[in-house]
Structure 1
Amino acid sequence: MPTPNPRHPDFPIPGGPELRAKGWRQEALLRLLENVLSVGENPDELIVYAALGKAARNWASHKAIVETLLRMDEDQTLIIQSGKPIGLLKTHARAPLVIMANCNIVGQWAKAEVFYELEKKGLICWGGLTAGAWQYIGSQGVIQGTYEIFMRIAENRFGGDLAGRFILTAGLGGMGGAQPLAGRMAGAAILCVDIDADRAQKRQEIGYLEAIAPDLDTALAMIDKAVAEKRATSIGLVGNAAEIYPEIARRGIVPDIVTDQTSAHDLVYGYVPKGMSLDEVKRLRVEGPGQLMAASQASIVDHVRAMLAFQQAGSEVFDNGNLIRTHARAGGVENAFDIKIFTEAYLRPLFARAIGPFRWMALSGDPQDIAKIDDKLLEMFPDNKIVTNWIALARQHVPFEGLPARIAWLGHGERTALARAVNAMVADGTLAGPVAFSRDHLDAGAMAHPNIMTENMKDGSDAIADWPLLDAMLLCSSMADLVVVHSGGGGYAGYMTSAGVTVIADGTPGGDERLELSLTNDTALGVMRYADAGYEESLDEIAIKEIGHIAVG
């Protein structure tokens, strides 16, 4: 029985024991499609997050996808091209139920302007990372990653503690909205700027922001008080970061940590230039996209110059993966890449061991299923401090959005062990229903992005996109339920390729086999990708866990 969704009343949250499809595998994927819209930023337009990240190409495609999932058998595979279903073919019961390729444009044509032209013609849509793959779970999906970044900075620069430290950031959308809660969980006083009052209000309503300040002076006073008291807090401020960052710098204020998660990746449909209202930007998206792109880039130049000024003054400054440095450099900021990318700076030792953002969703809609899996996770990995610390914090601070879900950074073998244990819990009735397992596309073997995931690889292999393609083929061979290959759209066009996977723990022996092969091979490839690039952590992981890596040369 679906649960009413106060935020988006036309998009109820799926759940309950009743099947509409012919089996739980099909039903699971249908519920995940429904779920990404229930927690999306603009579901009326099928947009889940990141300005343009869509769950399906258009409503006709969405309707056809739903109808196909309802009628298809287990020995059939639904083929989706950029959010549009194009075929249902007989394969076999151990093949993926759904395979997708979203927004993959041939190299020389993979540019923002070509993407916009193709999108206007209705030929393509961008799936973001987890939007088009029906894997998005709301802001929780990136909260732990953001929290772990803040804690790595705490360990590296501040003695392991962010109490009494000031974080300045911007962006409160589907991804950036995780920042205020992650900062507060890390013990800091965090100020989050966003141009959209509705976004700030939403983050306050779900408890991510503690307060919204009426102006910059009040916001800074609230931060100063929390810093002096060494009290964790999260303050929102409605305004344009390209104006507010330079003003804070002009006042001589030096935050301890500075980053940004606005939609700077897209100069037309994402970023809002300073001096423009949201209504004016919406008009220019239709009437003057070229003018808007130029204005966005000019604002990003000011935005990044302020970030560089903070860095020069002593702040820990990093790029959070939104291409803001890339657009700033194109606009004339030659030293924009003096700002480091978060993956290389803080998380690469984890990724080299294929430790990354694993997630699971309780398809029953029952929060107790997640609580029971939390308990199982703590029982299985009592010595894993990343896991035990995170679960304690998540239980206390992280609300569910849509289907009850949890994220935890687990590595090779750990993901498989947990998923198989959960499959057994489904089989014996401990859980109220099946569970879907997935992960972020920002994972060890799953993404090639030379300005984010694979920036400054040891061997110079930053731009090689073979790895996510191999990952997708391997996952199909390993019987995953859903496999997807995504490339960048909008401002991300030409910058990245990634692979995604979903596997259903339905309590059956077949589910157990799919989980074991898919999750084990997914992380194995991740370890091998970093081993091939020469990372000692990966070579160590291969030796310890006897991964079938072939060393050449």
Structure 2
Amino acid sequence: MQMTLDHQLPPYLPFREGIRRAPDRGYRLTKSQTYIALKNALRYIPTELHSRVAPEFLNELKTRGRIYGYRFRPGGDLRAQPVDQYNGNCLEGKAFQAMIDNNLSFDIALYPYELVTYGETGQVCQNWMQYRLIKKYLELMRQDQTLVVESGHPLGLFKSSPDAPRVIITNSMMVGMFDNQADWEIAAQMGVANYGQMTAGGWMYIGPQGIVHGTFNTLLNAGRLKLGIPNHEDLRGYLFVSSGLGGMSGAQPKAAYIAGAVSVIAEVDYSRIETRRQQGWVQRVTTNMQTAFDWAGESLERKEPLSVAYHGNIVELLEYAENKKIRIDLLSDQTSCHEPYTGGYCPAGITFEERTRLLHEDRDTFGILVNKSLRRHYEVIKKLIARGTYFFDYGNSFLKAVYDAGVKEISRNGVDEKEGFIWPSYVEDIMGPELFDYGYGPFRWVCLSGKHEDLIKTDKAAMACIDPNRRGQDRDNWIWIRDAERHNLVVGTQARILYQDAEGRLKIALRFNEMVRNGEIGPVMLGRDHHDVSGTDSPFRETANIKDG
């Protein structure tokens, strides 16, 4: 079954003030490529309307670098609604609609108007025409049908069976000579490739909470393995420094606080800092480096957790700390270094606004500044490591970005990146040996009723399924779910994340099924993310330095 959009154009609504917008990364298509881009966008719209919307699409392409179809975005904030408020012929179709809206809500999405959930470019789909069409298909879907989506483009509903997947999604399957960043950008502008990140294009993002538990586990176990902290203690009295307060990186201050640490997180975009402060995930904010470390020092002395956001560049913050001989116990980075040259990494020495201007006007100069900054970043980390700091790559392709910037000495063999890097990834050093090797990974669920009391009931049920005396990991996870409500982790849908192994997931899922059957709670969607065991093959990110076999 295939369909198009309605024969009446929706009104072109104004953009809400104060909502972040994706930067224009430039228009670089040839005349023939531009024709294909317009044709791909117009295919969703009835022919008689093409003459009206084609000029709008061309203007978006030339001024925003992409065709987003802003006219077709529904008005207001796309918050997820209780599942029974969606139209549909099956529960699964309604549930997917809720999760898509959750990914695009103002509270969660990095650039809501450009359909970017997190990671600088990770989109639910390419444009608002696709969004509307996907919603139409999900409303019509029956339990004997499957919707196939390729890079945001819904191919249609196909006859299947109740046991088959309701939706199959692929994103940006670039092959051969086109499998590179430059050609991907062209493909994205042409409307044939969508970067879904991990759970953005997979419709399973549950807000920054989805990263908090993994970050909590990473920091806590880094302290135990590298700082000698006993298993029954937390990170009180220890300092964690990193960068990034965006969609995923925003989990860092919250996770560090729950783990008992003091954290100083650098962020160049003040709007992201303000989002985390309003959500209660950052306690203090400053533009002064000494003030940030003074606050940190006071809390370290009292052995009390504290989260500080420093509005400024991480490289300059680290150089200041190294110059002032400030001890940093744990150090990482969560800038979007998988996209260093398209805005994911802001070079030292320029403002966030200057970064955005250069992306539009002078990408070559921006690239030169990125490379220089990554060299400085590498040099200061090397000095801090020599003084006792433990640094780990946090799955954001930081080490690969440094290598690509010309710092060949970061590679183990000094020649290429094929044998990995001299500094560890968090999977290699921490999460692998402590959690993934035992089968623990992120188990997620969403209470589709939208009722917070359902979430509280599932928290208690999950906790009752865990034996805290079986392993140390179980003890940590039991404490996590016990305290989850107190830590106020929900942003968006009534969702929860809990690291579990296969046995634990099975027990919890069966208990949830029983509760739903008995009418104790409404329907529950179970999920996972890319962080799961064997869930990602990304040699310069999650699986950096990990050997086959």
- After TM superposition, give the deviation of residue 361 of structure 1 in Å: 0.8
| Kept in 2: contact 1:167–1:183 (CA 8 A) | yes
| Kept in 2: contact 1:137–1:401 (CA 8 A) | yes
Matched, 1:400 2:474: no
| Kept in 1: contact 2:442–2:529 (CA 8 A) | yes
Deviations 1:117-148 (A, max 9, x none): 11111111100100001111111111011111
Structure 1: distance between partners of 2:18 and 2:428: 36
Specify the code of the residue in structure 2 equivalent to 1:378: M
Residue number among 411, 425, 436 corresponding to 1:351 in the alignment: 436
Structure 2: distance between partners of 1:301 and 1:15: 49
Q: Paired residue for 2:252?
A: 179
| Kept in 1: contact 2:289–2:320 (CA 8 A) | no
Match of 2:206, SS state, is: coil
Specify the code of the residue in structure 2 equivalent to 1:410: Q
Specify the code of the residue in structure 2 equivalent to 1:435: V
- After TM superposition, give the deviation of residue 393 of structure 1 in Å: 3.0
Structure 2: distance between partners of 1:231 and 1:421: 37
Q: Paired residue for 1:49?
A: 118
Residue number among 169, 178, 183 corresponding to 1:100 in the alignment: 169
| Kept in 2: contact 1:180–1:192 (CA 8 A) | yes
Structure with larger Rg: 2
Change (3 A) 1:390 1:367: same
Matched, 1:370 2:459: no
Q: Paired residue for 1:486?
A: none
| Kept in 1: contact 2:463–2:478 (CA 8 A) | yes
| Kept in 1: contact 2:371–2:406 (CA 8 A) | no
Deviations 1:289-335 (A, max 9, x none): 23222221221221122122111110111111111111112223234
Matched, 1:276 2:350: yes
Deviations 1:56-105 (A, max 9, x none): 11111111001110112111111101111122111122211100110111
Structure 2: distance between partners of 1:16 and 1:76: 20
Q: Paired residue for 1:300?
A: 374
| Kept in 1: contact 2:267–2:314 (CA 8 A) | yes
Structure 2: distance between partners of 1:454 and 1:66: 35
Matched, 1:147 2:197: no
Structure 1: distance between partners of 2:318 and 2:248: 20
Residue number among 235, 245, 248 corresponding to 1:162 in the alignment: 235
Match of 1:302, SS state, is: helix
Structure 1: distance between partners of 2:85 and 2:401: 49
Residue number among 336, 342, 361 corresponding to 1:263 in the alignment: 336
- After TM superposition, give the deviation of residue 379 of structure 1 in Å: 1.2
Aligned length: 455
Q: Paired residue for 1:21?
A: 88
Structure 2: distance between partners of 1:388 and 1:281: 43
More divergent stretch after superposition (45-54 vs 321-330):
321-330
Q: Paired residue for 1:551?
A: none
Match of 1:237, SS state, is: strand
| Kept in 1: contact 2:244–2:250 (CA 8 A) | yes
| Kept in 2: contact 1:140–1:398 (CA 8 A) | no
Structure 2: distance between partners of 1:162 and 1:456: 27
- After TM superposition, give the deviation of residue 192 of structure 1 in Å: 0.6
Match of 1:190, SS state, is: strand
| Kept in 2: contact 1:272–1:278 (CA 8 A) | yes
| Kept in 1: contact 2:424–2:545 (CA 8 A) | no
Matched, 1:340 2:424: yes
Structure 2: distance between partners of 1:398 and 1:66: 31
Change (3 A) 1:208 1:83: same
| Kept in 2: contact 1:168–1:257 (CA 8 A) | yes
Residue number among 301, 320, 323 corresponding to 2:397 in the alignment: 323
Residue number among 137, 143, 147 corresponding to 1:68 in the alignment: 137
Q: Which has the higher strand share?
A: 1
- After TM superposition, give the deviation of residue 385 of structure 1 in Å: 0.8
Task: Provide the TM-score with structure 1 as the length reference.
Answer: 0.79
Specify the code of the residue in structure 1 equivalent to 2:532: D
Q: Paired residue for 1:380?
A: 465
Match of 2:173, SS state, is: coil
| Kept in 2: contact 1:387–1:409 (CA 8 A) | yes
Deviations 1:161-196 (A, max 9, x none): 321111111100011100001111111111010001
Structure 1: distance between partners of 2:297 and 2:409: 31
Q: Identical aligned pairs, as a percentage?
A: 30
- After TM superposition, give the deviation of residue 107 of structure 1 in Å: 4.1
Q: Paired residue for 2:417?
A: none
Structure 2: distance between partners of 1:452 and 1:358: 21
Residue number among 501, 511, 530 corresponding to 1:421 in the alignment: 511
Structure 2: distance between partners of 1:266 and 1:209: 25
Matched, 1:444 2:514: no
Moved beyond 6 Å, runs of 4+: 5-8
Bigger RCO of structures 1 and 2 (CA < 8 A, at least 6 apart): 1
Change (3 A) 1:16 1:88: closer
Match of 1:168, SS state, is: strand
What RMSD in Å do the two structures reach over aligned CA positions?
1.8
